[in-house]
Homo-oligomer: A and B are copies of this chain.
Amino acid sequence: MAGRSALNRGAYVEAALEVIAQVGVDKLSMRNVASRLRVSPMAMYKHFPTKDDLLAASLEEFIARANVVPDTTLPWEQWVEHAAAGMYEALCRELSWVPLLGSLRVGEQAITVTEAFVARLREAGFTVEQALQAYFAVIQVVVGAVCLRSSLDARPTAEPGSSGEDSRTAKTDNRSLQAADSIPGELRSFLKRDQIAIGLPLIIDALRVKLEEART
């Protein structure tokens, strides 16, 4: 009874993140977020003029909570590996964010991460140019790794919660890699490797060479 009404942005974002954790970003709807708060779907449109606005705010919070910036004083290679692993794991936990990464607004939290990354690499001796290239190369490899990884495991499929089963998805659950047995064995075992261990080491190797070249 104490001040339950007058919901603010934070409450909606919180509810959105809960919905996402349970059913994935792609099945989040204005209606199911609202019903979790026992509120009319229309109530949200005062705070978020569009579903994309709600998603952008939720992504900001998701990035903030993922907490991918290592605060230790590791050597730069390990610092980068650590940060990349953090991003990779966070995105793997919520695969459904990936498609939206490019299409939502670049927010405060994303910029904070960028700046931390660049600062650490500058400290290690890279130029601003090089540090930015390194940062985006790492992001590319992380996003790519998550995209490819997603072909290997189905969605979590937590229990539907309240309303009836979603008849729309029932049929598509055991999709993906149906054609797997026609893939050459070596390719298959490669697909099963931790995807982040494929591209990232190459990026770091190249950066190390660049740094050594600059030192001589």
Contact = CB atoms under 8 A, between A and B. Distances in A.
A178 B50 CA distance: 14
B50 A172 contact: yes
A160 interface: no
Interface stretch (A8-16, A32-40, A71-79, A204-212): A204-212
A133 to B, nearest CB: 6
Describe A's contact surface by its main secondary structure: helix
B136 A195 contact: yes
Interface centre among A52, A102, A136, A206 (most CB of B within 10 A): A102
Given A105-B178, A175-B52, A202 B206 contact: yes
B140 A145 contact: yes
B102 A150 contact: yes
Contacts of A164: none
A170 to B, nearest CB: 10
Contacts of A150: 102-103
